[in-house]
């Protein structure tokens, strides 16, 4: 097969590129026969919305089957995702995890193929070949294993699919002149954004991505152009003309749609925010505003590091897994470096170089990476987790896009092009292998929970889950040891107290069992005890 050289990088024919992307997207296929693991139990097995409740009730409850207005609800409203789970149960008449896993794998492949065509929309004519390099990175990124091999991660995959579809519809709105096709595609875009939001809350960010796509890619504008509005009449005329054209209609309708969707969403929640415990997101409970912000920046840095080096992966990052920064800490230095690099990229791409094609690509890549991450950033509202790898599924598309743009920049020199290409291939092989190993760990709870011991040894929930599995398997010695480790790390861990107390009671160690069970009841009322954690 002949490969045409373009900027000293091989431009892969589209049919062959799609085949390679399809193969790359199968990096998690070994989890197809896995069992339900971790959050799959409360979201699917123990969720009446999936198995028994009337269909109408599904739109009144959160992702875990609780009333949205309940004080212990997580306020996660994802009825379309629950509908897909319910469809599996309706087809089979039972919950077969293999069906769920295969569906996730198919959806991931579909998301990867759509990502390829989205990248082609973002790239200029001469850079179309970069879509293959970007998408292959996206297809094999190990941080996706939680979303693909963990069944509840389907929410992120479905959301990504509908976000990409909304961009396709929006692009057609821009380039088709017929007023009926314009209206039809604008409605299609709005419906896809709505569907994305009903799969996962992140879907609302598709509106921002559509605006950035038109502003940066279609009109080739940036902040530099905005500064010229008051200096050059021609630039001012450009924006006046936008208001008079369909661009303003697109902006206006999507903005109104976004406001309506958010109003309905908050209305379903009873206009109240969810309440979490400090163990779920410790940084949010720091009283000092400055220290709270510093800890948030450190969490952003860790998310970025998971994209750069997805080696340390864990099913849960709460309960002491990420130590808080309470004073001067050496970790502040990488935070500063992280923001210096990010600000430099933003300034270069959005302000200093308005006519640079590469900088436009970097700018849209940053938008793809940052905007979908905003709902998980603790900026607008407090979230119930420290880190969640599945939340990086959509933002990773921006990261992979920026990497491919950098790859092109580095390969301009012929002497380095072969080295860069070899490094890229090695990275694909490494990430594919890492995804394969990680998806193997997601096949069952035993391997999943034990894999987290080396990543988050300070996480009480990890030890709690290892103990629970050991107890179910009859390994009482390990169960008792791990429960005690969980309590040493978190002395107020009511679930661990309860389980250890019952374990000791069965061993006729009544005195200590009574102390533990009494303390567990004191910490939480019976109702709170049921809902305060999803992994019980």
| CA 285 to chain centroid | 23
Burial category of 158 from C-beta neighbours within 10 Å (exposed 0-12, middle 13-18, buried 19 and up):
buried
pLDDT tens digits for 301-329? 999 999 999 999 999 998 888 889 888 88
Query: Bridge partners of 67?
Result: 61
Angle at 486 between CA 480 and CA 487, to 5 degrees: 90
Question: What whole-number distance in Å separates Cα of residue 205 and Cα of residue 201?
Answer: 9
What's the CATH number of domain 459-531, 2.120.10.30, 3.40.50.620, 3.30.565.10, 1.25.40.10? 1.25.40.10
Mean pLDDT over residues 356-384, rounded?
A: 90
Angle between helices 460-472 and 476-489 (to 10 degrees): 160
Task: Please indicate whether residue 534 or residue 180 has the higher confidence score (pLDDT).
Answer: 180
pLDDT band at 180 (very low <50, low <70, confident <90, very high): confident
| pLDDT for the residue 66 | 86
Please say if the pLDDT value at position 370 is more than 80. Answer: yes
Please say if the pLDDT value at position 270 is more than 60. Answer: yes
Q: How many CB atoms lie within 10 A of CB 129?
A: 23
Question: What whole-number distance in Å separates Cα of residue 449 and Cα of residue 392?
Answer: 21
pLDDT tens digits for 96-117? 999 999 999 999 999 999 999 9
Task: Please indicate whether residue 323 or residue 138 has the higher confidence score (pLDDT).
Answer: 138
| pLDDT for the residue 334 | 94
Q: Is 6 helix (H, G, I), strand (E, B) or coil?
A: strand
Single out the residue of 340, 327, 333 nearest to residue 298, CA to CA: 333
pLDDT band at 277 (very low <50, low <70, confident <90, very high): confident
Q: Is 101 helix (H, G, I), strand (E, B) or coil?
A: helix
Question: What whole-number distance in Å separates Cα of residue 42 and Cα of residue 48?
Answer: 10
| pLDDT for the residue 241 | 61
Q: How far is CA 103 from CA 33, 65, 98, 153, in A?
A: 11, 21, 9, 11
| pLDDT for the residue 372 | 96
Mean pLDDT over residues 252-264, rounded?
A: 92
Mean pLDDT over residues 269-273, rounded?
A: 78
Both tokens of 82, joined, read 């629950």
Mean pLDDT over residues 264-283, rounded?
A: 81
The domain locations on the chain are 14-268, 282-412, 459-531
| pLDDT for the residue 3 | 46
pLDDT band at 135 (very low <50, low <70, confident <90, very high): very high
Question: What whole-number distance in Å separates Cα of residue 69 and Cα of residue 88?
Answer: 27
Mean pLDDT over residues 392-418, rounded?
A: 86
Residue pair 274/380 in contact by the 8 Å Cβ criterion: no
| pLDDT for the residue 226 | 58
Q: How many CB atoms lie within 10 A of CB 153?
A: 27
pLDDT band at 8 (very low <50, low <70, confident <90, very high): low
Mean pLDDT over residues 231-247, rounded?
A: 61
Question: What whole-number distance in Å separates Cα of residue 97 and Cα of residue 77?
Answer: 23
Residue pair 359/348 in contact by the 8 Å Cβ criterion: yes
Please say if the pLDDT value at position 128 is more than 60. Answer: yes
Mean pLDDT over residues 138-149, rounded?
A: 97
Q: How far is CA 249 from CA 163, 166, 188, 293, in A?
A: 20, 16, 15, 38
pTM of the model: 0.91
Instruction: Quote the mean pLDDT of the chain.
Output: 87
| pLDDT for the residue 36 | 93
Please say if the pLDDT value at position 434 is more than 90. Answer: yes
| pLDDT for the residue 105 | 97
| pLDDT for the residue 478 | 93
Which of 33-47, 209-223, 270-284 has the least mean pLDDT? 270-284
| pLDDT for the residue 438 | 96
pLDDT band at 6 (very low <50, low <70, confident <90, very high): very low
| pLDDT for the residue 178 | 79
Residue pair 242/286 in contact by the 8 Å Cβ criterion: no
Question: What whole-number distance in Å separates Cα of residue 214 and Cα of residue 325?
Answer: 40
SS (H, E, C) 123-167: CCHHHCCHHHHHHHHHHHCHHHHHHHHCHHHHHHHHHHHHHHHHH
* Burial track 27-39 (b if 16+ CB lie within 10 A, e otherwise): bbbbbbebbbbbb
pLDDT tens digits for 479-519? 999 999 999 998 888 889 999 999 988 888 888 888 888 88
Q: What is the DSSP letter of 488?
A: H
Single out the residue of 370, 366, 377, 368 nearest to residue 344, CA to CA: 366
Please say if the pLDDT value at position 232 is more than 70. Answer: no
Question: What whole-number distance in Å separates Cα of residue 420 and Cα of residue 13?
Answer: 20
Burial category of 234 from C-beta neighbours within 10 Å (exposed 0-12, middle 13-18, buried 19 and up):
exposed
Maximum distance among all Cα pairs of the chain, rounded to whole angstroms: 86
- Strands (DSSP E) along 260-364, which ranges? none
| pLDDT for the residue 356 | 75
Share of the chain above pLDDT 70, in %: 90
pLDDT tens digits for 408-429? 888 776 557 788 888 999 999 9
Which of 175-184, 193-202, 439-448 has the least mean pLDDT? 175-184
Mean pLDDT over residues 282-299, rounded?
A: 90
Question: What whole-number distance in Å separates Cα of residue 189 and Cα of residue 14?
Answer: 26
| pLDDT for the residue 415 | 54
pLDDT band at 532 (very low <50, low <70, confident <90, very high): very low
């Amino acid at each position: 097969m002949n490969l045409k050289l373009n900027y000293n990088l091989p431009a892969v024919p589209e049919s062959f590129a799609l085949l390679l992307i399809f193969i790359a997207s199968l990096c998690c296929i070994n989890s197809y026969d896995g069992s339900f693991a971790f959050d799959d139990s409360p979201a699917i097995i123990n969720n009446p919305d999936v198995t028994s409740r009337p269909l109408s009730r599904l739109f009144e409850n959160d992702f875990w089957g609780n009333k949205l207005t309940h004080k212990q609800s997580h306020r996660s409203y994802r009825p379309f995702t629950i509908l897909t789970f319910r469809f599996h149960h309706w087809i089979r008449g039972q919950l077969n995890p293999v069906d769920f896993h295969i569906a996730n794998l198919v959806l991931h492949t579909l998301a990867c193929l759509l990502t390829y065509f989205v990248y082609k929309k973002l790239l200029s004519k001469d850079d179309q070949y970069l879509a293959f390099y970007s998408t292959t990175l996206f297809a094999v990124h190990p941080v996706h294993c939680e979303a693909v091999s963990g069944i509840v991660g389907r929410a992120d995959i479905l959301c990504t699919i509908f976000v990409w579809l909304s961009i396709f519809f929006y692009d057609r709105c821009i380039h088709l002149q017929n007023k009926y096709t314009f209206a039809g595609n604008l409605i299609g875009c709005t419906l896809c954004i709505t569907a994305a939001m009903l799969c996962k809350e992140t879907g609302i960010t598709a509106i921002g991505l559509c605006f950035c796509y038109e502003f940066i890619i279609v009109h080739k504008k940036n902040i530099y152009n905005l500064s010229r509005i008051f200096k050059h009449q021609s630039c001012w005329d450009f924006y006046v003309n936008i208001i008079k054209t369909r661009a303003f209609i697109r902006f206006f309708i999507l903005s109104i749609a976004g406001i309506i969707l958010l109003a309905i969403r908050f209305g379903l929640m009873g206009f109240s925010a969810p309440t979490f415990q400090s163990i779920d997101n410790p940084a949010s409970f720091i009283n000092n505003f400055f220290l709270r912000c510093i800890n948030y920046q450190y969490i952003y840095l860790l998310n970025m590091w998971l994209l750069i080096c997805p080696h340390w992966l864990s099913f849960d990052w709460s309960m002491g897994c990420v130590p808080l920064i309470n004073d001067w800490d050496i970790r502040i230095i990488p935070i500063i470096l992280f923001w210096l690099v990010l600000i430099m990229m933003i300034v270069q791409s959005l302000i200093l170089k308005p006519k640079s094609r590469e900088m436009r690509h970097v700018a849209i890549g940053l938008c793809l990476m940052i905007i979908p991450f905003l709902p998980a950033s603790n900026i607008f509202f407090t979230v119930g987790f420290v880190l969640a790898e599945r939340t990086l599924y959509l933002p990773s598309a921006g990261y992979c896009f920026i990497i491919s743009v950098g790859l092109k920049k580095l390969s301009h020199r012929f002497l380095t092009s072969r080295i860069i290409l070899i490094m890229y291939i090695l990275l694909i092989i490494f990430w594919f292998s890492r995804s394969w190993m990680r998806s193997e760990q997601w096949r069952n709870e035993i391997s999943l929970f034990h894999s987290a011991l080396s990543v988050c040894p300070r996480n009480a929930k990890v030890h709690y889950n290892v103990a629970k599995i050991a107890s179910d398997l009859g390994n009482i010695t390990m169960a008792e040891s791990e429960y005690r480790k969980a309590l040493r790390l978190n002395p107020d861990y009511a679930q661990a107290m309860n389980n250890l107390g019952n374990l000791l009671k069965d061993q006729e160690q009544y005195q200590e069992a009574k102390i533990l069970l009494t303390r567990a009841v004191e910490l939480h009322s019976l109702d709170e005890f049921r809902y305060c954690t999803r992994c019980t």
